[in-house]
C-alpha cells in the first residue's frame, strides 16, 4: 500500500513530534519565554504514538523521524524510541543534543545511527543569544561524542541575516576535519517569529559566501532530498542548502507531519490540520482520515502565496509556531 496525493507524490516519510516543550528558547522557533505548552492530556501517549506509527507503516511509511520541541525531554522517550525501533522503518531523530549523552546506548539499541542536531552557531556567546541558554559547551561535547561513536551527524543551521551568516564559512570549514553533514536552512515564517522576507539569506547568497572562500563540487542528491548537496575537495564531511523560501522542493515532497497533539499536517505550512488523536481515542477510522489528508494536499506551500508577496509574513504567521509543529 502507498499514500499518494492527487499529484502522484508518494508519501513514505513521517515526522512525529513527541512534545512541544524544549529546554532552549531559539528565537526563530519559540516565540517567547512565556510560551504556553500543551497540557499532558492533549498529547499523544506512548501507546497512542505506537498505534498511529504502526498504522502509518501499514499504509506505506518506511522512514520515521522523531522531533519536538526537544524529543528527549519526554520522560517516556526511552520507551517510545525502543518500541518504534521494533518497526520495519528507518528511525531517526532531530535533537538539540543537550540530552544526547543519556541516550547514546538507547539510540544504538533502537537502530538509530543518524541524528539531526539543530545548531545555529559555533560561538558560545552567540549561542547564548540565539538559544537564550548557556549550553554550547555541553552541546558541542555531545556532538563530538556522537561523531566518535560513528553516528551520522547532520547539523541544521538556520541562517538569519544579521545574526549568523558570517559563520557560514566556519561551518563549511568544519567539514574538512569532521565527517559531518552541515545543512544551511533558509529562515522560514511561523507564528510570532517576526519573519520578514529580507531576513532570509537565500541559496544564492549562501553559495556566494562559500564560493569566496572555497572550491567545492556538487554531489548527488538523494531521491526526495530537500537539500542540494556539496563537498569540499578531500573533505571528510559534506554541506548542503535547504532553500525552502527562495527555491522550494515541493515537487518531490514525500513528508507527512504528526504533531504532538495528534494532528496531521500534510505540509509544514498547511493551515488546515486533521485530528487523528480524538478519532483514535473514540475508536474511529484514522486510516480514512490519513488517506484524505494526503490526497487533499496542496501542490506547494500548503496552498499559500509566495514568500515574497507583500502580505506573506501575516499570512504565514497564521500557522502554528515551529515548536508546536515539530521540526
Q: State the pLDDT at residue 270.
A: 82
Cell of 162: 544579521
Query: How far is Cα 105 from Cα 25, in angstroms, rounded to an integer?
Result: 27
Distance CA 248, CA 243 (A): 6
What confidence score (pLDDT) does residue 253 get? 92
The reported pLDDT for the residue numbered 191 is: 56
Q: Where are the alpha helices (DSSP H) in 163-319?
A: 168-177, 203-213, 276-281, 286-295, 312-316
Quote the CA–CA distance of 190 and 88 in Å, as a whole number.
33
- Helix or strand or coil: residue 123? coil
pLDDT at position 76: 97
The pLDDT of residue 34: 63
Query: Which three cell numbers, joined as nine digits, stand for 261?
Result: 497533539
Share of the chain above pLDDT 70, in %: 87
Domain segments of the chain as ranges: 13-325
Quick one: which H or E segment has residue 281? helix 276-281
Q: Which pLDDT does position 322 carry in this prediction? A: 64
- Give the helix ranges, DSSP H, for 110-257: 124-131, 136-148, 168-177, 203-213
What pLDDT does residue 21 have? 86
Question: What would the pLDDT profile of 27-80 be if each residue is shown by its tens digit?
Answer: 666 655 566 778 888 999 999 999 999 999 999 999 999 998 899 999 999 999
φ, ψ (nearest 5 deg) of residue 67: -135, -175
pLDDT in tens, 206-236: 999 999 999 999 999 988 888 899 999 989 9
CA dist 187 → 7, 75, 205, 216, 240 (Å): 27, 31, 13, 24, 15
Asked if 261 and 42 count as a contact pair (C-beta separation under 8 A), the reply is yes
pLDDT at 227: 86
Backbone angles phi, psi at 238, to 5 degrees: -140, 170
Give 112's contacts (C-beta < 8 A, 6+ positions apart).
Answer: 81, 85, 91, 92, 93
d(CA 157, CA 186): 9
Which residues neighbour 89 within 8 Å (Cβ) at sequence distance 6 or greater?
57, 61, 62, 63, 64
Which residues of the chain are under the pLDDT cut of 50? none
Report the topology of domain 13-325: TIM Barrel (3.20.20)
Amino acid at each position: 500500500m502507498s499514500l499518494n496525493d492527487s499529484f502522484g507524490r508518494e508519501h513514505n516519510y513521517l515526522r512525529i513530534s513527541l512534545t512541544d516543550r524544549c529546554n532552549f528558547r531559539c528565537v526563530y522557533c519559540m516565540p517567547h519565554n512565556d510560551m504556553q505548552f500543551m497540557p499532558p492530556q492533549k498529547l499523544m501517549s506512548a501507546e497512542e504514538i505506537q498505534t498511529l506509527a504502526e498504522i502509518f507503516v501499514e499504509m506505506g511509511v518506511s522512514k520515521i523521524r522523531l522531533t519536538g520541541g526537544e524529543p528527549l525531554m519526554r520522560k517516556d522517550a526511552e520507551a517510545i524510541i525502543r518500541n518504534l525501533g521494533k518497526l520495519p522503518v528507518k528511525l531517526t531523530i532531530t535533537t538539540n543534543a543537550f540530552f544526547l549523552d543519556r541516550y547514546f546506548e538507547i539510540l544504538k539499541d533502537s537502530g538509530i545511527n543518524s541524528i539531526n542536531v539543530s545548531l545555529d552557531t559555533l560561538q558560545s556567546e552567540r549561542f547564548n543569544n540565539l538559544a537564550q541558554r548557556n549550553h554550547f559547551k555541553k552541546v558541542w561535547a555531545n556532538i563530538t561524542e556522537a561523531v566518535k561513536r560513528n553516528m551520522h551527524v547532520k547539523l541544521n543551521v538556520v541562517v538569519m541575516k544579521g545574526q549568523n551568516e558570517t559563520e557560514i564559512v566556519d561551518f563549511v570549514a568544519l567539514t574538512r576535519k569532521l565527517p559531518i553533514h552541515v545543512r544551511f536552512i533558509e529562515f522560514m515564517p511561523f507564528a510570532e517569529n517576526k519573519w520578514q522576507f529580507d531576513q532570509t539569506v537565500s541559496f544564492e547568497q549562501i553559495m556566494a559566501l562559500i564560493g569566496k572562500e572555497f572550491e567545492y563540487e556538487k554531489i548527488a542528491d538523494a531521491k526526495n532530498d530537500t537539500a542540494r548537496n556539496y563537498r569540499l575537495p578531500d573533505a571528510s564531511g559534506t554541506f548542503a542548502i535547504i532553500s525552502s523560501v527562495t527555491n522550494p522542493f515541493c515537487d518531490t515532497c514525500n513528508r507527512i507531519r504528526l504533531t504532538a497533539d495528534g494532528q496531521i499536517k500534510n505540509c509544514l505550512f498547511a493551515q488546515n490540520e486533521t485530528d487523528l488523536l480524538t478519532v483514535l481515542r473514540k475508536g474511529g477510522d484514522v486510516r480514512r482520515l490519513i488517506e484524505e489528508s494526503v490526497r487533499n494536499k496542496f501542490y506547494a506551500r500548503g496552498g499559500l502565496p509566495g514568500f515574497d508577496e507583500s502580505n506573506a509574513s501575516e499570512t504565514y504567521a497564521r500557522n502554528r509556531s515551529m515548536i508546536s509543529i515539530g521540526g
